[in-house]
Amino acid sequence: MAIGKLIGLAAIGGLLYAHKRHGGQFTVESFNKSARDLMDGAKTRARDLKAMAERRLEPTENRIDSAKDTGASTSGTQSGSTDFRSGSPDKAF
């Protein structure tokens, strides 16, 4: 219960600070406007972060897709095994 009260008081304090910083009047309508502005700002910031994360992930998705395409086109083309150290097929080492 104490943690819940602390979080609630912090939220009220943050709202009052933002309200005072923006020059709001001490009316219910003005407090509601400040709360809406604060929520809209948080939503905008969340959308921006999501868009930035999607842009960063896009090159990775393209690399994965191209690797899948390359793997699918070359599968089953080798007829024998290769010794990678000597470069010759089926040579014992």
Q: What is the 3-state secondary structure (H, E, C) of 9-44?
A: HHHHHHHHHHHHHCCCCCCHHHHHHHHHHHHHHHHH
pLDDT band at 47 (very low <50, low <70, confident <90, very high): very high
* Residue at 18 is within a domain: yes
* Residue at 6 is within a domain: yes
For the chain, what percent of residues have pLDDT higher than 70?
A: 63
Query: Can you give the pLDDT at residue 4?
Result: 87
* Residue at 50 is within a domain: yes
**Structural domain that includes position 34:** 2-66
- pLDDT exceeds cutoff 60 at 85: no
* Residue at 24 is within a domain: yes
* Residue at 80 is within a domain: no
Provide the domain count of the chain: 1
Write the pLDDT tens digit of every residue in 3-17. 989 888 888 888 888
- pLDDT exceeds cutoff 70 at 77: no
